[in-house]
Every structure is written in C-alpha cells, then in structure tokens.
Amino acid sequence: MNILLAEDDLQLGELIRFMLMKKAGYKVDWVMDGEDAYEYVKVSYYDVLILDWMMPNGDGTSVCRKLRSEGYSRAILMLTAKDAVEDRINGLDAGADDYLIKPFEIEELLARLRALTRRNYAPIIEDQIAIHGLVINRTSQKVIQGKEEIQLSPREFQLLDLLVQNKGQVLPREVILDRIWGFDADVSTKTIDATIKLLRKKLNIVGKQDLLQSIRGVGYKVES
C-alpha cells in the first residue's frame, strides 16, 4: 500500500512513518505542510492520504476540500486533536472518508487504513460478468470463452475476478495480497507476480494474455 502522510509534528511523523513501514510493510512518503501534500498527490499515486488537521501552508481540511473539488477520489484519513462533534463533521464535510483523534494507537490506525482500502476496491454484485469475450461466473467459478472453459486454480480465479471487479483501476500488489491471501498470510508480493504469470499463460490459450496489464512499481489492472 502506498501512503502519503502529511504531519508537521516531527516526532509523531517519524513514529507513524516508521510504524507503518515496519509493522505493515507500507511505502510511506512523509511531508510536513499542506502545500507539499497537495503537490505530492498531483504527481504520485497513493492508496490513502493521511492528513493532519493543523499544518502550515494549508491545513488538512483545506487540502482535502481542494483535492475533492478537483475530482480526487482516493481515500483520505484525517488526523486531529479536535474531538468536538462539530469539528469532526467539518472534516467529513470537507471530503475526508474517516478521521482519527490524537492520541491514538498504531493498531487502530492500521485497522482504519485496511478498512479504507477495502472501500476503495469494493466488489460489484453481478454473479456473472462478460469482458473482452470472456464470461466469468462467480457461482460456478468458471471462465468461459465461447464454448471453451479455461481451467483456473481457485487462487487464479479469485485474482482474475478481483481485477475484473475493479476494471479500469490499478490494484496495488499490497491490496491484492490483502484481498486474496490476507496480510497475515506467509506469502510475499512475489506470489502475486507468479500467479499473474500462470494466469496469463492460461489466458494465452484463447488469445487474452494482454487482458492483465502490469503497472510498473504498483500492481495490475484490467482495462474496462
């Protein structure tokens, strides 16, 4: 998971960044003011933004409101020492998806980040999807082109299904790992790459190997 942390408290920022990287293996960029946060978002991909409410050169709510007005749709978590209901409402109305009141436990922050990424990649509800000549049936867990069935392992089917559910979106390896294997599983992101390789080999039989697109340094996607 790629995180942008905007926190002007040096000690707290260092602690959050260290814990997110050590405990969860996330990639974390850390800035200390609102202007830098906005600029980083415009040139980089992040799964979640963590914005401190009070920062120099643009507070968290101002940055959040500006990004949302420009169509930014990724998850935003607000950190705040303000615990009044009115303040929390203002943060959510500015476009934040969630908020966390200081001081907080790092385990709660991690849980909220996992919840936010699940919302970002929400499954669609059809039992059967047709895409690029393939029919994917979740009930039977079969993938068919014409009259030919493509024999997939359960993991291969789950991975293809997840990518198709979120067609048009780039799914980072960390998100795929969480959704298919679970973060607690004793596997690495290399397992995802190996599964993609096997899946492409099977899709090649029906000329669909290009369905799965690699986004270098991030993950995979299926074009809509």
Number of H helices, E strands in the chain: 8, 12
pLDDT digits (tens, 9 = 90+) for 60-100: 899 999 998 988 888 899 998 876 677 777 778 888 888 88
What is the b/e burial string over 129-152, where b = at least 16 CB atoms within 10 angstroms of the residue's CB?
eebeebebbbeeeebbbeeeebeb
Map tokens 């919302």 to a residue: 119
Name the burial class of residue 98, with classes exposed (0-12), middle (13-18) and buried (19+) by CB atoms within 10 angstroms of its CB. Answer: middle
Secondary structure class of 62 (helix, strand, coil): helix
Element (H, E) at 185: none
- β-pairing, 27-31 with 2-6? parallel
**Maximum separation of any 2 CA atoms in the chain, in Å:** 62
- Residue span(s) of the chain under CATH 1.10.10.10 come to 128-222
Which CATH architecture fits 2-120? 3-Layer(aba) Sandwich (3.40)
Segment 118-136 shows an average pLDDT of 72
pLDDT of residue 58: 86
pLDDT of residue 25: 84
- Residue span(s) of the chain under CATH 3.40.50.2300 come to 2-120
From 67-81, 136-150, 176-190, the region with the lowest mean pLDDT: 176-190
Secondary structure class of 173 (helix, strand, coil): helix
User: Is the pLDDT score of 185 beyond 80?
Assistant: no
User: Is the pLDDT score of 56 beyond 70?
Assistant: yes
Which CATH architecture fits 128-222? Orthogonal Bundle (1.10)
pLDDT of residue 203: 85
User: Is the pLDDT score of 186 beyond 70?
Assistant: yes
Amino acid letter, residue 29 = D
Reference 142, options 161, 163, 126; nearest CA is 161
User: Is the pLDDT score of 3 beyond 80?
Assistant: yes
Map tokens 């790459």 to a residue: 193
Distance CA 89, CA 134 (A): 45
User: Is the pLDDT score of 147 beyond 90?
Assistant: no
Secondary structure class of 43 (helix, strand, coil): helix
Amino acid letter, residue 136 = I
pLDDT of residue 120: 66
**Residue 58 region by backbone torsions, left for phi larger than 0, else alpha for psi between -120 and 50, else beta:** left
Name the burial class of residue 160, with classes exposed (0-12), middle (13-18) and buried (19+) by CB atoms within 10 angstroms of its CB. Answer: buried
Q: How many CB atoms lie within 10 A of CB 11?
A: 8
Q: How confident is the model at residue 18 (pLDDT cuts 50, 70, 90)?
A: very high
